[in-house]
């Protein structure tokens, strides 16, 4: 017998085939067994008819699969394998359009209900409504990927918050439920039809992804909580240190629920709690403004801003993509993304500012690149994180706040170890000199490129362009 314990007790999984009417648990962004309200509802529904079976289903939706880059495809497959192991090999994987696949599984299993965690993303909502229309049995929504579901936190007049800080205060007042009870013992997992098997993702080359799955998520949380949580406020911006939780990919796929993390925080951990709330705030914004995934909330940035175009701009964009801009902190971040499928959050802001305000390229192009390569690529957090830097979103950093890529590196990688780790052409430069190779006689001896732009001059261009749309 395999057991996974956390909080309330043990989750025990066995195959003890019964004779009741089955229910279906359709997994999506909730690839776990602990703190899973939809799972509890599916088991309860099945057991109203003696020992009814529960069909654990995951659908490889071509819309989502094909839009994910190789990094996220690989991580998803690893997460599904971990989930399948926890289900004793009973995860039913089907490939195809959920509007067709889910009704087929219902018919084959003779199921009386389908249980899901609610999806609040633009595509997910539309998909679920279409599936619900195609089903002859209820589609039961229980829980969501968030501690507080999008749309729940409102001002006193019922309108949405557009600024994070008052949203955070209201989110705290609203509160959230305690983690759900553990899954019942002896769940009768059942695969009523042939499994299509795990999809084959593309080759990742030299990228090595971290362990996936619920167990790995809890292990990472325990490491962070014991070693870094106390100093999180001081260390979270240091790119050269392991000062962040690195739980984004686990939260993205629901291998751990934010409510479970919140239950283990105290008021002394408010800075980290606020980071969890940022994720919920951005989900709320996207829920209320679905088009903001790809268009600026302040439409002037799409319609009137004078963005750069032409061959030189494309060459500069390629230099940004490949980490060859000549600005070490920017290039280290972009190479970390290419080699790890992840980037430190402080560096994400710096490279985004550089693309938008030094190269004068719209945020959407950078956001698309991030979504293609980030293992924790989340539509709401990614789009609105970019808009925060661009100054085009809700609660935005003002456009006139332009990150200096040199001083940011000196401040948040003071010894240059982050730069040297990802830029071997600068490995021979000691200490902080790695951030300013132009000051060293040997700075360019290993082939590192010189800066492609003059930061001071491009900052003035960006501010002038912004002043122009403000007058419009």
pLDDT at residue 236 is higher than 60: yes
Cα separation, 214 vs 220, whole angstroms: 10
Name which CATH class applies to 293-470: mainly alpha
Cα separation, 278 vs 148, whole angstroms: 12
Active-site residue flag, 345: yes
Which of 278, 320, 342, 388 is the catalytic position? 278
Which of 386, 388, 425, 458 is the catalytic position? 386
pLDDT at residue 2 is higher than 60: no
Predicted confidence at residue 189, as pLDDT, reads 95
User: Would the pTM count as exceeding 0.85?
Assistant: yes
> Which structure tokens are listed for 441?
């006689």
Neighbouring-strand partners of residue 10? 5
Active-site residue flag, 307: yes
Which of 74, 363, 382, 388 is the catalytic position? 363
Predicted confidence at residue 3, as pLDDT, reads 39
Cα separation, 36 vs 260, whole angstroms: 10
Predicted confidence at residue 135, as pLDDT, reads 98
Q: Phi-psi category of 186—alpha, beta or left, where left has phi over 0 and alpha has psi -120 to 50?
A: left
Domain with CATH 3.40.50.620 in the chain: 2-145+182-188
Active-site residue flag, 386: yes
Active-site residue flag, 26: no
pLDDT at residue 6 is higher than 60: no
In 3D, which of 154, 156, 119 has the Cα closest to residue 139? 119
CB 155 within 8 A of CB 173: no
Predicted confidence at residue 11, as pLDDT, reads 34
Q: What is the mean pLDDT of residues 70-81?
A: 98
Q: What is the mean pLDDT of residues 320-336?
A: 98
Active-site residue flag, 388: no
**Residues with Cβ < 8 Å from 269, sequence gap 6 or more?**
229, 232
Active-site residue flag, 363: yes
Name which CATH class applies to 2-145+182-188: alpha beta
> Which structure tokens are listed for 264?
């283990």
Domain with CATH 1.10.579.10 in the chain: 293-470
* Mean pLDDT for the chain overall: 93
Which of 35-49, 239-253, 355-369 is predicted least confidently?
A: 35-49
In 3D, which of 457, 448, 437 has the Cα closest to residue 358? 457
> Which structure tokens are listed for 212?
């996936």
Which of 181, 307, 372, 436 is the catalytic position? 307
Q: Could you write out the DSSP letters of every residue in 73-113?
A: HHHHHHHHHHHHHHTTT--EEEES-HHHHHHHHHHHHT-S-
Instruction: Determine whether 311 is exposed, middle or buried from the number of CB atoms within 10 Å of its CB (0-12, 13-18, 19+).
Output: exposed
99: phi then psi, degrees, rounded to nearest 5:
-65, -25
Which of 73-82, 353-362, 399-408 is predicted least confidently?
A: 399-408
* Gyration radius of the chain over CA positions: 24
Which of 44, 85, 270, 275 is the catalytic position? 275
Cα separation, 131 vs 299, whole angstroms: 33
């Amino acid at each position: 017998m395999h057991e996974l314990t956390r909080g309330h007790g043990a989750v025990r999984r066995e195959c003890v085939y019964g004779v009741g009417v089955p229910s279906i648990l359709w997994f999506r962004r909730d690839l776990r067994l602990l703190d899973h309200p939809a799972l509890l509802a599916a088991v309860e529904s099945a057991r109203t008819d003696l020992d009814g079976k529960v069909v654990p289903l995951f659908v490889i939706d071509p819309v989502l699969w094909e839009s994910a880059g190789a990094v996220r495809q690989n991580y998803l497959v690893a997460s599904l394998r971990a989930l399948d192991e926890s289900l004793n090999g009973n995860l039913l994987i089907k490939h195809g359009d959920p509007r067709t696949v889910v009704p087929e599984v219902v018919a084959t299993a003779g199921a009386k209900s389908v249980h899901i965690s609610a999806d609040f993303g633009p595509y997910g909502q539309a998909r679920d409504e279409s599936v619900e229309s195609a089903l002859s049995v209820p589609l039961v929504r229980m829980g969501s990927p968030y501690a507080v579901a999008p749309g729940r936190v409102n001002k006193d007049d019922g309108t949405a918050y557009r600024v994070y800080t008052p949203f955070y205060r209201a989110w705290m007042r609203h509160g959230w439920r305690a983690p759900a009870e553990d899954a019942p013992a002896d769940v009768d997992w059942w695969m009523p039809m042939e499994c299509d098997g795990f999809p084959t993702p593309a080759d990742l080359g030299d990228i090595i992804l971290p362990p996936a799955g619920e167990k790995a998520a809890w292990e990472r949380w325990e490491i962070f909580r014991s070693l870094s949580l106390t100093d999180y406020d001081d260390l979270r911006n240091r790119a050269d240190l392991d000062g962040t939780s690195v739980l984004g990919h686990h939260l993205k796929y629901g291998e751990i629920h934010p409510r479970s993390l919140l239950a283990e925080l105290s008021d002394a951990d408010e800075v980290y709690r606020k980071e969890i709330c940022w994720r919920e705030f951005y989900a709320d914004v996207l829920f209320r403004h679905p088009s903001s995934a790809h268009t600026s909330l302040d439409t002037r940035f799409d319609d009137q801003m004078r963005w750069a175009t032409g061959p030189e701009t494309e060459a500069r964009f390629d230099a940004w993509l490949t980490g060859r801009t000549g600005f070490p902190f920017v290039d280290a971040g972009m190479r970390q993304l290419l080699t790890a499928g992840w980037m430190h959050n402080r560096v994400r802001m710096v490279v985004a500012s550089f693309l938008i305000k030094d190269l004068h390229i719209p945020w959407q192009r950078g956001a698309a690149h991030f979504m293609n390569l980030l293992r924790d690529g989340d539509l709401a957090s990614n789009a609105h994180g970019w808009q925060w830097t661009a100054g085009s979103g809700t609660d935005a950093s003002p456009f006139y706040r332009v990150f200096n890529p040199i001083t940011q590196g000196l401040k948040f990688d003071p010894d240059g170890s982050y730069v040297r780790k990802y830029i071997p052409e600068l490995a021979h430069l000691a200490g902080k000199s790695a951030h300013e190779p132009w000051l060293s006689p040997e700075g360019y001896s290993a082939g590192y490129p010189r800066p492609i732009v003059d930061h001071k001059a491009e900052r003035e261009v960006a501010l002038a362009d912004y002043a122009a749309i403000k007058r419009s």
